[in-house]
Amino acid sequence: MPRQTKAREVPLAERTLVVDNGASTMKAGFANPSPDQEEDCHIIHNCISRSRDKRVWVGVQLENCKDFGEMAFRRPVEKGYLVNWEAEKEIWDHTFFDKDAKLNCDPHDTNLIFTEAPNAPQALQTNSDQIIFEEFEFASYYRCVGPSLNAYNDIPALFGSQPRLADAPMLPLECLLIIDSGFSHTTVTPLFRGRPIQSAIRRLDVGGKILTNYLKELVSIRHYNMMDETHLMNEVKEAVCFVSKDFNRDLQRTWKGGVGDRRDADSSGEGIVIDYVLPDYNTHRHGFMRPHDPSLSAKLKKLGAAAGANEGIEDFMTLGNERFAVPELLFSPGDVGMKQPGVAEAVIQSMSALPSGLWPAMLANIMVVGGNAKIDGFVERLDRELRPLAPAECIVRVAGATDPIKSTWLGGAKLAGERTILNELLVTRQEYQEHGSGWLTKKFAGGPAR
């Protein structure tokens, strides 16, 4: 007879803290029976930063910062993996353990659901386990691959099907393909009954960080030196960038002509070329986009060069093909010399590692999450590029999450609401002390934990 599972001597805590520990931002909050994204999920800067006046800002403190000029960032997550727990502990101390923190908790009475990137090195996983159980002393803990939590969301509703009933059991979708395009990288993760199929996971080393750095280089060559303005250029990227439906056509529309045939880009690039007004961090903290005005006199007036003007100088830059050339790297990394496939090709490579019987279900349930999913046109372009690559007998359906940034956290919150499933996944601190880190690694990997 199979060995029966030993019943837990210590009951699980009532409160569950869900932490989607991203490289740029950390999505955290306590799970409620009916989680509300706006009230329960908090987006926190996952970094320690230093402003030009040498002041240090830690995590949540950045919400009170008014001047992001020349801000330097130190991030505990590099290339998607948590490598610096010294910095992360300081951020967590301000976020979860300060008396005045919004998410203040007692770890001894709190369960923790903690996400990591797919295929994280085992040494980093063990380090996280030790910090959480031995340093913070959480009551119980579940470490999982971030994309897997999306399987607990209402996926059928994204594709126009009947939403999940309120009293229906919260079971993960049987077959789901998650494309998570975040700050450090883009991953393609096939899920079967909520668990990732490790051999089919594919990674593209293009994420929001590379896109921001590429935009910094383009702007620094064509307009102002922005190499030290990471935060500002990230705001510009989020505000103005879009994925082109026809890259070559839009590139031709924004071409300014040769040496003997100069032309204003707005004459053929109408609707693409815009002006972005830069913030001065005095009258306004954020920049904004407006239609391009090619009139030189209008530019001089806006720059405050008119005699007798009492207004401050308004700095702006004209952006054309930068708007769509930057996110194009997600589909054509070779544009900057990266020898990697684009997102659509990575999906097909992932499919090739799966049994052919799973292809129809996976291709019919493709969900896009992560910050880059908010770039206008990303989901539509991915759908259009996937269709000719997929087998003719397979239906391709691609949908973006309702809120791509909070989607993973929301799935974790819904998982936490299912106490029966949660009890099987969580490991208590007592069990960790009894069995050790090797046993814990096997349990979280889904293998036999004895």
Residue 404 is classified by DSSP as T
Which pLDDT band holds residue 449 (cuts at 50, 70, 90)?
Answer: very low
Closest CA to 395 of 405, 406, 403, 387: 387
Cα–Cα distance, 68 to 60 (Å, whole number): 15
What pTM did the predictor assign?
A: 0.89
Mean pLDDT is lowest, of 29-43, 61-75, 76-90, 102-116, for 29-43
What's the whole-number mean pLDDT along residues 258-277?
65
In terms of phi and psi (left: phi > 0; alpha: psi -120 to 50; beta: otherwise), the region of 377 is: left
Closest CA to 404 of 370, 428, 372, 432: 370
Which tens digits make up the pLDDT trace of 110-138? 999 999 999 999 999 999 999 999 999 99
> Using CA of residue 21, residue 410, residue 354, residue 142, what is the dihedral sign?
positive
**pLDDT of 167 higher than 70:** no
Cα–Cα distance, 267 to 98 (Å, whole number): 56
Which tens digits make up the pLDDT trace of 405-427? 999 999 999 999 888 889 899 99
- Structure token digits, residue 105: 């908790």
Mean pLDDT is lowest, of 146-160, 246-260, 322-336, 390-404, for 246-260
- Structure token digits, residue 360: 């129809």
Cα–Cα distance, 36 to 27 (Å, whole number): 13
Angstrom CA distances, 64 to 58, 188, 283, 402, 409, stand at: 11, 36, 16, 28, 24
Q: At what angle do helices 230-240 and 208-222 cross, to 10 degrees?
A: 100
What's residue 307's pLDDT? 42
Please name the helix (run of DSSP H) or strand (run of DSSP E) that holds residue 124, with its range, or none. helix 122-130
Percent of the chain residues topping a pLDDT of 90: 62
Q: How many residues does the chain have?
A: 450
What's the whole-number mean pLDDT along residues 389-416?
93
- Most distant CA atoms of the chain, gap in Å: 93
- Structure token digits, residue 208: 């929001």
Helix (H, G, I), strand (E, B) or coil at 369: strand
In terms of phi and psi (left: phi > 0; alpha: psi -120 to 50; beta: otherwise), the region of 70 is: left
What's the whole-number mean pLDDT along residues 374-399?
95
> Mean of the per-residue pLDDT values for the chain?
87
First vs last Cα of the chain: how many Å apart? 16
Phi, psi of 254 (to 5 degrees): -100, 5
Phi, psi of 369 (to 5 degrees): -130, 175
What's residue 398's pLDDT? 96
Helix (H, G, I), strand (E, B) or coil at 247: helix
